[in-house]
Every structure is written in structure tokens, then in C-alpha cells.
Structure 1
Amino acid sequence: MKKQHVAVIGATGQVGTPLTRGLLSLGHDATIITRKPQKDAKLMAFEQQGALISVCVDMHDVDTMTEILQGVDTLVASVPGSKTIIEQSEPVWLEAAVKAGVKRFVPSEFGCHTQALEMGDGEVFDNKKRFHDLLMSSGIGWTLFYNGGIFDYFLPNLRFFRKITTFGDLELPIYTHDIEDIGYLAALAVTDERTLNKCVQVDYNALSQHDMLDQLKRNWPDHSFEYEHFSSEYITTMKESAGDEVTAKKGSETDKERWGINYAIYVIGKLAAFNEQTLRTSELYPDYVCKRPEEVLNDAKFVFED
């Protein structure tokens, strides 16, 4: 792969941190666009590794963003896909990227395979699909990166719930990976010419919730776990009836958005998808060795730490 200049919005976030670290380790030039006038520890570490820190207090200023993006090959929005980000921020960033001559835009995806979903399957995905229409009609190149699940939230543990919690169809395959692997694979994918105007699906690990629970019981046979299950019927009802409150212990999605995500993952099985426009990371990077769910479910700190 040839050296590229990649700008990252959200470089200190959950996906953005290992993604930016991956870009720098691969030898790419990285510009981190941030609102923070003061550099935190992560930004300072990235700067020491060669990243350029560009402060933009108003990221809705098209002219300022256009100036920052001069000479950039790819812009990555590794930020949570909230309604505000998708409807108000990303259109501005896209306009600035087009004006600056950026070759590729990577929007806020990093989760379910939005392109495989239909309108109405979930509020978050409806918003994303509307932005995709704008992106794909803009003339700029794009890559949609779908990592599926992250170990922290998808492997059964007691850190976010007081019981081991399951959802919907326990037999659906759940594609889930360690955040460090996700970030590095994203860095590979967004700088890979083969992924231009393609979807990329991370696909090394696939376990059903039933398989996960079996492993948990085998690893911790002496622990008496309590369980709670939300049925497909309950999830479907909540997708339509939940409100705009944010009540989850972890995450910033509204309740309506969160149950829509659960519907996509656990009821209709669209956490991952493999259609004609989707490339598998296992085929793009067959020699890559990622962390396996089996070793994580055997880690007491992961399973039990509150």
C-alpha cells in the first residue's frame, strides 16, 4: 500500500484511538481534527508519533474544514453515529471534503451493515441510509467499514448488566471482535485501493449467543450466573414504542435508537452481511491473526469486573 494522508475526526474515541494508532504504525500521514484547544494525553501521544493536530472549534464551518482538508487523501469520521452527527455534521464534512479534493470519505458506520438494511428497520440506520444517498451522489469515493460487534458489548459479561443478558434469536451468528483488532483493520481498509467504493465486513469471529453462553458455563462452572432474556417480540415492540430518553448504562443512543439496533442485530440478523458490494477482511487480509472470543471469555477481569 502506498503512503497516504488520512484525516481523522474522533481520533481519541473508542474506534478512533486504535484506528489512528494503526494508521501511524502503517506509516501513513495523519491529521487529527479536534475541537479541543488543549491537547489531552492521547492527542499528545499521537503528536509524538508524527500526527498533525488541527484544532477546529466550529466543525460546521465549511470553509475552515475545507482549508484543513487540503492535501488529504481520505477523511474518516470515527465518531458515534448520533442523529446530530449524521444529519448536521457529516453533510458539512462531506461538502468540505469535496471542495478540498479529498479522494475518499469514510462515514460513521463501525457497526451493523447499514447497506443490508431496509428503511424502517431502525431509526439510526434510516438516518445513515439517507446520508449514504448524499455521499454516493457527491462524486467522492467512499468506503463503508462494518466491524459488527465489539467484545465489550457482545460477549456475555457482568460489567454493563447485573445479570447475563441475552436478546432475540440465540442462534443467529454474532460477528464480534476486539477493539484493537477493529481499529487496525479499519486503518488497513480505509487506505486500501481495493476497498474504494466498497463495503468492508470484519468476519474472523462468528459465534451465536448460544455458543457464547456454553463457553461461559464451561469456563466458569462453579459460578452461579443469573440470566435475563429480551425476546424478539419485546425487541420489535420497543423498536416502535420506545422514546427519546437515554437510559442505557453505556452508550449515547436514545432508547428508540438502541432498540432499533437490537432489532437489526438480534431479530433480523443484520449485524453483518455479505452482499455483492461487500469485501470480507478474512479475504482481504488472510494472514491477519485477531484475538479470539474463547480467550476473552476465560478472562475473569473481562467477565466479572464492574
Structure 2
Amino acid sequence: MHFETIALFGANGQIGQRILERLSHHPNHNFRVRAFIPPDDDLSCAGNDHKTIIKSFDLNELSREGLAKDLEGADAVVSALSGKALDAQPLIQDAAAHAGVKRFYPSEYGMHLTYRKPNDPWGYLHPVWDQKQR
């Protein structure tokens, strides 16, 4: 599958900046990137790149319809969100589907977080997993 336009959420974070850097300076392809960052934040790594459009999004004011408009024409959505911003990922995924985006790459993949030994009715939930689940 050939991607031209990538929507990148969390483009100002540690991982997001690296993803944006690689997409912007890919040696064999000229990606167009829509870099979504929180309001009142900047994206210094974008520089003067004419292929990168910086879009501000507020987690408290997101709507599926509004976000779908911003995602129209994108071939893929990459989520580099973390922490509290992960709460917005399902809404972003729904908006991407509504806009007809072909691929959605979440920032984290799920797994069953409770470990149960045979015949253990309670199980064990690691504190780190518990935090991620919240």
C-alpha cells in the first residue's frame, strides 16, 4: 500500500518527534504530514518543511465530525500519544474510519493485563499494567 499523506498525533512528544523527523526526511519518499499537537505547544523539529502542516487539537474539545474533516485525504493515521492523551485514541480512530483513512496505527497494542495461575480466582495485576489500564 502506498501512502502519501500521514496524520501524526502526538508529533511533539519524544516518539512523535522521531517519527516526524523520519517521515520528513525519508530518502525515497516525499510524505505529506499533518502533525497534530496540543494547543500552546510548538513543533520546532518541523522547521521550514513545506510538506508538514501543523494542526492544533484540544483533547477537551474533540469531536468525531470535526476531526474527520481534518483527516480527510489522509492515507494513514499514526498515534504517538501517551499518558492522558491516550483517552482520545478511540475517538481519533473512529474519526479516521469516518474520513475513510486506510490505516490506523495505535500508539499501544492491548494485551490481557491480569495474570492468573491455574486455579487462582483472583490473579495478579502488575502496578505498571494497572496504571496503563487506567
TM-score range, shorter chain: 0.7 to 0.9
Relative contact order higher in (CA < 8 Å, ≥ 6 apart): 2
Matching residue of 1:91: 90
Q: Is the 8 A contact 1:35 1:56 kept in 2?
A: yes
2: CA distance between counterparts of 1:14 and 1:44? 13
Matching residue of 2:4: 4
Deviation at 1:20, TM superposition (A): 0.7
Unaligned runs of 5+ in 2: 116-122
Count of residues in Structure 1 that have an aligned counterpart in Structure 2: 121
Unaligned runs of 5+ in 1: 122-235, 243-253, 261-306
TM-score by length of 1: 0.35
2: CA distance between counterparts of 1:18 and 1:9? 12
Matching residue of 1:230: none
Matching residue of 1:14: 14
Residues 140-167 of structure 1, C-alpha deviation per residue, up to 9 Å, x if partnerless?
A: xxxxxxxxxxxxxxxxxxxxxxxxxxxx
Q: Is the 8 A contact 1:8 1:31 kept in 2?
A: yes
Deviation at 1:64, TM superposition (A): 1.6
2: CA distance between counterparts of 1:16 and 1:56? 15
Matching residue of 2:67: 65
Q: Is the 8 A contact 1:3 1:28 kept in 2?
A: yes
2:131 paired with 1:257: yes
Q: How does 1:46-125 map to 2 (within 5 A)?
A: 46-50=46-50, 51-58=52-59, 60-80=62-82, 82=83, 85=86, 88-109=87-108, 114=109, 117-121=111-115
Matching residue of 2:39: 36
Structure label with greater radius of gyration:
1
Deviation at 1:120, TM superposition (A): 1.7
Structure with bigger helix share is 1
- Percent of residue pairs identical: 23
TM-score by length of 2: 0.73
Residues 162-195 of structure 1, C-alpha deviation per residue, up to 9 Å, x if partnerless?
A: xxxxxxxxxxxxxxxxxxxxxxxxxxxxxxxxxx
**What secondary structure does 2:114 align onto?**
coil
Q: Is the 8 A contact 1:94 1:105 kept in 2?
A: yes
- The CA RMSD measured in Å over matched residues stands at 2.9
The code of the aligned residue for 2:56 comes to V
Deviation at 1:57, TM superposition (A): 2.5
Deviation at 1:15, TM superposition (A): 1.1
**What secondary structure does 1:36 align onto?**
coil
1: CA distance between counterparts of 2:125 and 2:96? 38
Deviation at 1:23, TM superposition (A): 0.7
Residues 214-252 of structure 1, C-alpha deviation per residue, up to 9 Å, x if partnerless?
A: xxxxxxxxxxxxxxxxxxxxxx9772xx5xxxxxxxxxx
The code of the aligned residue for 2:107 comes to S
2: CA distance between counterparts of 1:20 and 1:34? 12
Deviation at 1:49, TM superposition (A): 2.0
The code of the aligned residue for 2:73 comes to G
2: CA distance between counterparts of 1:96 and 1:256? 28
